Amino acid sequence: MKSADHRIGPVLCVVGARPNYMKMAPLLRAFAAQPGMPPALLVHTGQHYDFALNDKLFVDLELPAPDVNLEVGSGSHAVQTAEVMKRFEPVVDAQQPSCVVVVGDVNSTLACSLVAAKKLVPVVHVEAGLRSFDRTMPEEINRVLTDQISDLLYTTERDAHDNLAREGIAAERVVFVGNLMIDSLQAALPKAVAPEETVRREGGDPGLLRHPKGFGVVTLHRPSNVDDPATLREVLGILGEVAQRLPLVWPIHPRTRANVERAGLASLLANPRLICLPPQGYLEMVGLMSRATLALTDSGGVQEETTALGVPCLTMRANTERPITIEQGTNTLVGRDRAKILACVEEILSGGGKRGRVPEYWDGRTAGRIAMHLGAWLQRRAGVTG
């Protein structure tokens, strides 16, 4: 596809935000174990910089300290994307990588892909081809553009190949490998922190988790749910009603909590059956999700993790880029439809709810498949001029 120098330089692996870490951790281990694989350098853009969303996750996932930290921080989408590009370009110039590996759909993913593509460095996109078909989501723009300029596209589900084909991406650039998120999930399960310990440590009442029907776990952070004060009030009201039926544990994203405070809605969190926690580490979250009766979320990763765990998931969004979690897994799209949410909760509490099955190749061995394929691909490229 491109006519760059094919020497086998290092592989630059980019992370920027929390979901990236869970995908990159098993990949770095697999790269290190793959014979003939060039050295991997971890580049952290600093898109997420809060300790609770960053350093703790590196420890939980046994991720090495980044080789490069761009320390970009927060900003508008344009500012953040531009700043990542400005700071990543000198890294590419200095390292002369054999490829740049990006994961997911955050601003860092697109920014680093653009820099690499313009310098004729191959772009490898892990978790390619997912589509919500909602262009109002910044992540959808990032996904579509990153896939267009990627040389190798690794997919988590076979339907992603149809999406990519419709967008004119050649089939030989696309490889179905499975879901890296499940690699990290399976590795974390034996080390997961018990929910009672998590709640007790944060000053909550672990006795609430011994409710006859168990407890639910909540994660909400998307602008469509938490940015508008009226919408946020509606969401908090729904959570309050669900909490009357089942205690809820909610590790609140810093942005969400700030919006609650700014909108003067903090009193709606003062529900004794709504256990509000600060952001939690990965091992704490895996402990909560694996033991939960249900999850209420707007997170793409939680949709996948609950499907792998067999835990019913109610996704408070109008659409999802992960339809396999609905078609095969435990996920149900409920939006902010109060009646639908409460009906689904009642169904779960009375009959166990949707269980589904674990999709193909969500088996904990995705990183090894990527490392084997990418290592061979890089060697073939080097052989072109070597």
> What residues act catalytically?
221
Please name which of 118, 193, 185 lies closest in space to residue 156, comparing C-alpha atoms.
Answer: 185
Question: How many Å apart are CA 139 and CA 173, to the nearest integer?
Answer: 22
Question: Residue 194 above 60 pLDDT?
Answer: yes
pLDDT in tens, 77-108: 999 999 999 999 999 999 999 999 999 999 99
For residue 105, the Cα-to-chain-centroid distance in whole angstroms is 8
Q: What values do phi and psi take at 125, rounded to 5?
A: -105, 115
Cα dihedral 350/206/305/333 (nearest 10)? 50
pTM (whole model) above 0.95: no
- Give the pLDDT of residue 7: 56
pLDDT in tens, 29-41: 999 999 999 999 9
Question: How many Å apart are CA 62 and CA 337, to the nearest integer?
Answer: 39
* pLDDT category of residue 57 using cuts at 50, 70 and 90: confident
Residues 169-193, mean pLDDT to the nearest whole number = 98
Question: Residue 258 above 90 pLDDT?
Answer: yes
- Give the pLDDT of residue 2: 47
Residues 173-183, mean pLDDT to the nearest whole number = 98
Q: Which residue has the tokens 């030989």?
A: 172
- Give the pLDDT of residue 355: 87
Question: Residue 1 above 90 pLDDT?
Answer: no
Question: Residue 52 above 70 pLDDT?
Answer: no
- The second-level CATH assignment, the architecture, of 191-351 is 3-Layer(aba) Sandwich (3.40)
Residues 40-66, mean pLDDT to the nearest whole number = 81
- Strand 40-44 with 11-15, pairing: parallel
* pLDDT category of residue 59 using cuts at 50, 70 and 90: confident
The two three-digit tokens of residue 65, written as one number: 């300290």
* pLDDT category of residue 74 using cuts at 50, 70 and 90: confident
Radius of gyration of the chain (CA): 21
Question: Worst-scoring range by mean pLDDT, 67-76, 100-109, 212-221, 292-301?
Answer: 67-76
Per-domain boundaries in the chain: 11-178+362-385, 191-351
Topology alike, domains 11-178+362-385 and 191-351: yes
Per-residue CA distances from 129 to 143, 147, 159, 174 (Å): 7, 7, 8, 9
Helix (H) or strand (E) holding 141: helix 138-148
Q: Which residue has the tokens 């099955």?
A: 357
Question: Worst-scoring range by mean pLDDT, 58-72, 129-143, 167-181?
Answer: 58-72
Please name which of 104, 321, 316 lies closest in space to residue 223, comparing C-alpha atoms.
Answer: 316
**Quick one: what percent of the chain has pLDDT higher than 90?**
89
pLDDT in tens, 333-356: 999 999 999 999 999 999 999 989
* Class (C level, CATH) for 11-178+362-385: alpha beta
Report the helix count and the strand count for the chain, using DSSP H and E: 16, 13
